[in-house]
Amino acid sequence: MKIALIGYGKMGKAIEAIAVEKGHTIAFKFDISNQEAFTIANLQQCDVAIEFTSPHSAVDNLKKCFEAGVPVVCGSTGWLAQWDAVTTDCESKNAALVYASNFSIGVNLFFELNSYLAKLMRHHPNYDVSLEEIHHTEKKDAPSGTAITLAEQVLAHITRKKAWVNHISDNIEELEIISERIDPAPGTHKIKYHSAIDDIEIIHTAHNRQGFASGAILAAEFIVGKKGIYSIKQVLGL
């Protein structure tokens, strides 16, 4: 594949290393230093784009890929308030998108475990539940997209919790997500069920960015030649 990297920070560099190792070509690396090169004509020279930037730029980047007719894998988080507008634009352009809050295979297995545990715990109101997430200080959004996904899975099963909040809360109907930013920390997510008798915890800790980068390349290989909107679960066959 010929790949356009949109965003060439630490994640972009990790994706590049794995892509080249797998025999793919990085045709373009777009970031703030060469915005003039980020054109529809250049995108159209590629088989797929992989977008890892920031909440304020992701939507415009995706729309440019749709306009170019280039399938795109997006791992940027913090922009989902505009999800409906983005997916409508994708469909109207007959384009292709894979979005995930986290492309790590291990994290997506963790999502499945989290959902199953929440389903088991919904009948045990003596346990309270909370989330904690830790990332590096360059992480711009809080809580992380991964933490929001985990929280929404919990809320889907534990109906005594009505909404998540990103602070410590005394409201029993609020699911608290505590966010910390510490270097170096590729990412840790913990779900804790607490009672007066005992605690139950599940934790995922990323040791580096390779898991995220490998999943993004798998998604790029999956989306080439397709139209429509896909999830990482479809990529991984979960």
Q: Name the residues annotated as catalytic.
A: 135, 139
Q: Which residues pair with 230 in a beta bridge?
A: 98
Say if residues 6 and 32 touch (Cβ distance below 8 Å).
no
Say if residues 11 and 19 touch (Cβ distance below 8 Å).
no
Two tokens, residue 203: 């934790």
CA distance 87 to 68: 15
Q: How far is CA 197 from its chain centroid? A: 35
Q: How far is CA 178 from its chain centroid? A: 18
Gap between the terminal Cα atoms of the chain: 25
Quick one: which of 19, 75, 21, 81 has its CA closest to 47?
19
Q: φ, ψ for residue 129 (rounded to 5)? A: -130, 145
CA distance 15 to 155: 33
